[in-house]
């Protein structure tokens, strides 16, 4: 029997409807599978965030415990160290005539060791204190603060001729105490490592780079090999021998902690015998 044109289109439309329904069901299944995967992913993210938060709390607690331990140990070491220093001084004063030259040399070595130990303890206490205390943000002139640091450095060594250039009107918003520690150490570090440089030059300035305000302290002093830059901001790490430049390796670690507390970052560029430039944000 011949199919009428009307029946043909009715059957054709029915097949189209069936195909469309099948396609819609396929899409619906895919959407349900996608929704299930999204739900699973959301639940995994929630679990991950909870784990990260827990690990963060554990890390903060461990850091607080470590800082408390450092402070306690440093504080408790002071008393016996003072006794060692006192007894060695008494022995030097009262029994110097009875000691051989070697014995007196031993006493001098004890005195130097006690002094160095005292500096280490002071450094540990200083680092512990930097992680505590409320941040008081205010408008601070780094230029004025740096001028005060420069005056103190010149007063300590008036015979030195150093070109110390401080850019004017450098103003930041931050904690005055922490900013003071940063400038004390960066300028002091530059002053120390230009001690053997003819026509020494130290500069404090500010630049804009990719929309970010970056402050820097540059010098033309001893410099160092950038291969060792990773050690520079760690406590009690030094890139030069104490016989060359004094210190215990606490200043730049203090700088890094202060800048971290201010929410900034710090890095350095240097070459041996060509000086160093320390950059920081805050």
Statement: residue 244 has pLDDT above 70: no
Choose between 102 and 150: higher pLDDT.
150
Average pLDDT over residues 184-197: 94
Statement: residue 280 has pLDDT above 90: yes
Q: Give the three-state DSSP class for 237.
A: coil
Choose between 211 and 124: higher pLDDT.
211
Average pLDDT over residues 262-282: 95
> Which residues are bridge partners to 141 per DSSP?
171
Identify the band that residue 111 occupies on the pLDDT scale cut at 50, 70 and 90.
confident
Identify the band that residue 247 occupies on the pLDDT scale cut at 50, 70 and 90.
low
Q: Among 194, 229, 205, 175, which Cα is nearest to 279's? A: 205
Please report the domains of the chain, with CATH numbers, ordered by start residue.
Answer: 1-132 (1.10.287), 137-280 (3.30.565.10)
Phi, psi of 21 (to 5 degrees): -65, -40
What one-character-per-residue DSSP string does 27-58 give?
A: HHHHHHHHHHHHHHHHHHHHHHHHHHHHHHHH
This model's pTM is above 0.85: no
Q: Which of 55-59, 153-157, 186-190, 268-272 has the lowest mean pLDDT?
A: 55-59
Residue 232: other Cβ atoms inside 10 A:
22
Q: Considering the chain, what percentage of its residues have pLDDT values greater than 90?
A: 41
Averaged confidence pLDDT in the chain:
86
Pairwise CA distance, residues 15 & 261, whole Å: 70
pLDDT of residue 266: 96
Q: Which two tokens stand for residue 14?
A: 């029915």
Contacts (Cβ under 8 Å, ≥6 apart) of 257: 127, 130, 131
Tens digits of residue pLDDT in 51-91: 888 888 878 777 777 767 766 776 777 778 888 888 888 88
Residue with tokens 């002093």: 221
Identify the band that residue 95 occupies on the pLDDT scale cut at 50, 70 and 90.
confident
Statement: residue 16 has pLDDT above 90: no
Q: In what order do the strands lie in the sheet with 266-270?
A: 162-166, 200-209, 212-219, 276-280, 266-270
């Amino acid at each position: 029997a011949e199919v009428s044109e009307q029946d043909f289109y009715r059957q054709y439309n029915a097949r189209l409807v069936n195909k469309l329904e099948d396609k819609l069901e396929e899409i619906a299944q895919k959407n349900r599978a996608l929704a299930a995967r999204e739900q699973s992913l959301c639940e995994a993210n929630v679990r991950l965030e909870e784990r990260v938060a827990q690990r963060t709390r554990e890390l903060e607690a461990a850091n607080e415990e470590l800082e408390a331990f450092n402070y306690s140990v440093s504080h408790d070491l002071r008393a016996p160290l003072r006794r060692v220093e006192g007894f060695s001084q008494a022995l030097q004063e009262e029994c110097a005539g009875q000691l051989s030259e070697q014995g007196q040399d031993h006493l001098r070595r004890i005195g130097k060791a006690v002094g160095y130990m005292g500096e280490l303890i002071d450094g540990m206490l200083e680092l512990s204190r930097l992680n505590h205390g409320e941040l008081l943000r205010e408008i601070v002139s780094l230029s004025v603060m740096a001028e005060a640091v420069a005056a103190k450095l010149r007063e300590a060594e008036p015979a030195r001729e150093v070109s110390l250039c401080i850019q004017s009107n450098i103003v930041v918003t931050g904690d005055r105490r922490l900013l003071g520690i940063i400038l004390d150490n960066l300028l002091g570090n530059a002053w120390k490592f230009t001690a053997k440089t003819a026509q020494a030059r130290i500069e404090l300035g500010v630049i804009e780079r990719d929309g970010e305000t970056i402050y820097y302290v540059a010098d033309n002093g001893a410099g160092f090999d950038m291969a060792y830059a990773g050690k520079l901001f760690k406590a009690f790490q030094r890139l030069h021998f104490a016989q060359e430049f004094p210190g215990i390796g606490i200043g730049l670690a203090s700088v890094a902690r202060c800048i971290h507390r201010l929410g900034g970052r710090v890095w350095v560029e240097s070459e041996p015998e060509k000086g160093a430039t320390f950059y920081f944000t805050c």
